[in-house]
Structures are given as structure tokens and as C-alpha cells.
Amino acid sequence: MSQTIAQKVIARAAGADSVAVGDYVTVTPDYTVMQEIYFHRNIKILERLGVEAIRCPDKVVAVLDHTPQAALGSEHVIRNRESREFVRRTGFRNFFDAGRAGLRHLVMVEHGFARPGLLVFSDEPNIASIGAVGALNVPISTEVLVSMVRDSNWVRVPASVRFELTGTLPPGVWVRDLVQAICHEYAGGDGLVQRCVEFGGVSRLGLDSRQGLLAGMYHAGADTAVADVDDVALAYVRERADGRPYEVFAADDGAEYDEFRTWDLGALEPFVTVPPRHGEVVPVSEVAGRRITHAMVGSCASNRIEDLRAAAEILRDNEVAPGVVMYVTPGSPEVFATAAREGLVELFTERGAQVLSPGCTTCWGYLGALADGDVAISTNQEHYAGRAGSRNAVTNLASPYVVAASAVAGEITDPRPMLTRKGAGHAGR
């Protein structure tokens, strides 16, 4: 039976030669990953149940990616302390505390937990970003407790669609614009529901951009996503695997897809997603001139070094406009350190942006919350009312280029005229 990448990963985790679309199979995950809110909740449940040990603690990863800067009066001050006490008491090793923490999406890749052919249970569909190195994310939300304790769970084998990338992104256009083009076509419909999006032609993008692309597929309706593993991805994995095993899977000739589609990167333009739905995507020209009060670069869609470099291209010779608050959030300590070495932290600061510590931060309003009447343009994943603060604030979604250009202009703006250096970092510089 010809198999897609998703089928092969699930079959391996199930100990089977092959699996069919729609099968319900019991699998042993390679890792279970969660952020601290779920982690704290789960250890409290374990305590109430009298469960004193996790079956395979080395296969569980917990990351403080939402609340590492727990503030005065926040309930997370106590919750994070109790999580640390659990870690010390049990010898739990894969706990990424403040200072080591960032978005768990990146922690999984940077620390070599995500590797080709591995299956990961997680608390969030956006962690499909690990598919950039050939790992498959299975989002199970609150049921992460099950795989955390039992080291197994069931999964329904998804159908797959195949998206093949061609062409080259034009100057001023970012991988986020591709995500928005896909959302425009599929979000709100059932074309990608209960499906895995399998990407080919990804060598046209840098590894950072591939992660951002896969993270966005949830908002187009997909359950998960995965990309072909090329030499760039494999070299990255080898550097970080530390001897841990992996297996590179490629789809078989004759594998069945619900849809096969080609996306020409060269045909894209800058887009903006306006509230309230992810399918509400328009060319930037249709909303240009709308006043903004906030601009944010970060979140699991655009928090990697390539994203920060793109924003820096705009800000290199421009300053944030008076009356606009701009936040830049690196996705991990590694990204933060790289940005510092490259002078980007200094550049952002000198141009009037505030660089925040790694984490989810502005995406869910834990830092940089919006007040009544605020209008934001952001690389965040979500923009429903109240997501990042007041329900009477408005958030538009866009690429790092559009966000930075809008911060400079004080209104939603096409970034292309502002670029002082042509070409972006999609080739993985």
C-alpha cells in the first residue's frame, strides 16, 4: 500500500507496516509536549489521583512559554513555583524554565526533540511547525495528560493533501503571505479539515520560514502539516540530534491525496488578514492608510531569526512613528542571542521598538495587552475579539515586513517601497 508521510510516521509509532486513512490506531509517541498552563494543571491532577511517577519522563517536555515573566498579582507566580517544586521532587528533566524557555514549537526543534519520522503529541495544532524537520505533530489538547501518564494514545489516521511550492518570493513578500493566501482559500471550509498538509518544494524557503508556514496551516483548517526533508533540514537535525535516532520518510509514488496543488511563490503579494476570521484576507492595498496604535512581531508564526531580519530590513533606515507602540518578541533564547549578536536588538531599540523576552507574550495579551480603541497589526496567529486584551480592540494580521512598515508609517502600509536592500532570508542564509 502506497503511503503518505503522515501514514508512514503513524504506522511506525503504531508498530505497523502500514495504516489506512480513517483507521483508529493506538500509538506510542516519541514525545509529549505542553506549555506550563497544561503542565501545572496535569501535575495537580496526578497529585489528586495519587500518581507519583510518569511512566516515561524523558519523553515528556514542558516549557514556560506563556508566563515565564509572571507578574505581581498573577496566579502564574504560584503555579510556576509549584511546577518547579514538582520538577525538583521527581527529577523531571525536560522542563524549560524562565531563562531557558521560549515557544515550545522552537524548543522542540532547537533541542533536537523533533526529528524526522517522530510522532509528537501536543497541546496545540500550531506545533505542526516541527514538520519542517520531518516530525509529525498530533494535537490532542487536554488529553496530553493521557500520553504523559500512559505513554500511549489513539489517533485517527488523517487524509493528506499535497502542496508543491514553485517560484521565488518577490522582495517585500514573506512566507506569511503564503499562509494568508492558503487561509483565504481554505479557512472556514472543510477542504483541509481532518487532513495533513504535506509540502514539497520547500527548499525554496529557509528552515525558519518552513516552520512558520506549517504553523499557520491549523488556521486554514488542517489538523497538522509536514514537509519533505531536504539536505538543509537534515544537516540541522544531525547537528542537534545528539545521537538520538530518527528515520527520514518520503511519500511513496502513488500515495493518495485528497488534493494536489501547486503554489507559485512569485505570484504572491503582501496581504493583511482583517477581523474576525482567518479567511478575511485582502491585499495590503485594500486597507492601506488605516491608523494603528500597536505593531507586534513575534508569536509562533513569525518569531524566528529570519522574521526578525525581515522586520530589521524596514527599520534599518526608519523609526517607529510617534503614537505607535511596537513590540518584537524572539521565539527562544537562541533566537534572542542570535539577534543580539547580529545587532538586531540594538537596532530595534534605537528605532523605537521594545524587545521582549522569549515567549507567547503579545499573542495572547499576557504582555503588551491592548486597551479599548487600540488598533494593532501583528504577526500573531489569532485576532479574535479579546484575544490580546480588550474586546473593543482590533487586531490585523500580516507579515513582519507589513508590520514593520506600518509601525514606521503609523498606518497599515505596503512595505515594498521602504525596503532598502532587496531580497529576503528565505533561502536560509
- Cell reading at 176: 506569511
Residue by residue, pLDDT tens for the chain (429 residues) are 899 999 999 999 999 999 999 999 999 999 999 999 999 999 999 989 888 778 899 999 999 988 877 766 778 889 999 999 999 988 889 999 989 989 999 999 999 999 999 999 999 999 999 999 999 999 998 889 999 989 999 999 999 999 999 999 999 999 999 999 999 999 999 999 999 999 999 999 999 999 999 999 999 999 999 999 999 999 999 999 999 999 999 999 999 999 999 999 999 999 999 999 999 999 999 999 999 999 999 988 899 999 999 999 999 999 999 999 999 999 999 999 999 999 999 999 999 999 999 988 887 777 888 999 999 999 998 887 878 889 999 999 999 999 999 999 999 999 999 995 544 444 333
Residues 397 and 395: their CA atoms lie apart, in Å, by 7
Q: Are residues 285 and 216 in the same domain?
A: no
**Is residue 350 situated within a structural domain?**
yes
Last residue of a domain, one of 231, 263, 295: 263
pLDDT tens digit sequence for 53-109: 788 999 999 999 888 777 667 788 899 999 999 999 888 899 999 899 899 999 999
Give a yes or no: residue 69 inside a domain. Answer: yes
Instruction: Assess whether 235 and 296 both reside in one domain.
Output: no
The β-bridge relationship of strands 271-273 and 281-283 is: antiparallel
| Within a domain: 257 | yes
| Residue 205 belongs to some domain of the structure | yes
The rounded distance, in Å, linking the Cα atoms of 332 and 102 is 4
233 inside domain: yes
Note whether residue 36 is domain-resident.
Answer: yes
400 with 253, same domain: the answer is no
Domain shared by 240 and 325, yes or no: no
* Whether residue 225 sits in one domain with residue 81: yes
Which residues in 234-321 belong to E strands, given as ranges? 259-264, 271-273, 281-283, 294-297
- Same domain as 241, residue 277: no
Same domain, 72 and 23: yes
| Type of residue found at 156 | R
Same domain? For 226 and 296 the reply is no
Show the domain range for 102.
Answer: 8-263
Query: pTM, whole model, 2 decimals?
Result: 0.94
Residues 235 and 317 in one domain: no
Q: How do residues 168-183 score in pLDDT, each as one tens digit?
A: 999 999 999 999 999 9
Assign residue 286 the CATH number of its domain: 3.30.499.10
Counting the structural domains of the chain, the total is 2
Same domain, 220 and 101: yes
Whether residues 285 and 392 share a domain: the answer is yes
